[in-house]
Amino acid sequence: MHLQMIGDPVCAKAHPSPVMSSEVETGAGGALENVVVYVSDGLPADQTFTPPAQPANLEQKGCLYNPHVVAVQSGQTLRVVNDDQTTHNIHLMPINNREWNKSQPPGVIIEETIPRQEIAIPVKCNIHPWMKSYVAVFKHPFFAVTGKDGSFDLKNLPPGTYTIQAWHEKLGTSSQKITVGTNETKSLQFVFKSRPGM
């Protein structure tokens, strides 16, 4: 699906060629990008994890969000940057967290934290309706977003039995159980089926 950017000359000028929607991005062999993969069950309920000091970045460039899907740990700073020469607004529409709706002129940086786990929060720009993204928030560090090759890595997972869930904005969710031993590496593959109308 082509994105129509004619409503803002700055946006239209940034893309002399047509821009496709990022809702379903596939690579070689049908690899699926922008899938959130995470531990949904198996960690001790009372275990707490310190959020990373490094912020996660969500960039507005060429009147698009980059990355299309960003994942953060609860309490980690989400840093939103406007690299365009036009005003945007960052509008997060969560269910379990506080809603944001902030104007963001060119060059302005917004930094916020999201306290509670939520998969996944829709993000839009009210000024440019084609701009859409998602933020996934986790209370632990065992999550990843697949890249262009569809790969992911859940690093430093302690030994145990876990449910691993994969979420995609259009293709839904899939889950698998896995048992990991000490110093053991396991491989998982999630397969999503195209839905009618896609």
Residue 7 lies in a domain: yes
Residue 196 lies in a domain: no
Residue 187 lies in a domain: no
> How many domains does the chain fold into?
1
Name which of 17-26, 60-69, 181-190 the model is least confident about: 17-26
3-state secondary structure of 33: coil
Residue 198 has pLDDT above 60, yes or no: no
- What are the tens digits of pLDDT across the range 129-154? 999 999 999 999 999 999 989 999 99
- What are the tens digits of pLDDT across the range 168-194? 999 999 999 999 999 888 899 988 877
3-state secondary structure of 177: strand
Task: Report the CATH number that the domain containing residue 175 is assigned in CATH.
Answer: 2.60.40.420
Residue 193 lies in a domain: no
DSSP secondary structure of 58-107: EEEETTEEESSEEEEETTSEEEEEE-SSS-EEEEE--SSS--EEEEE-TT
**Residue ranges making up the domain that contains 68:** 2-180
Residue 18 has pLDDT above 90, yes or no: no
Residue 185 lies in a domain: no
Residue 186 lies in a domain: no
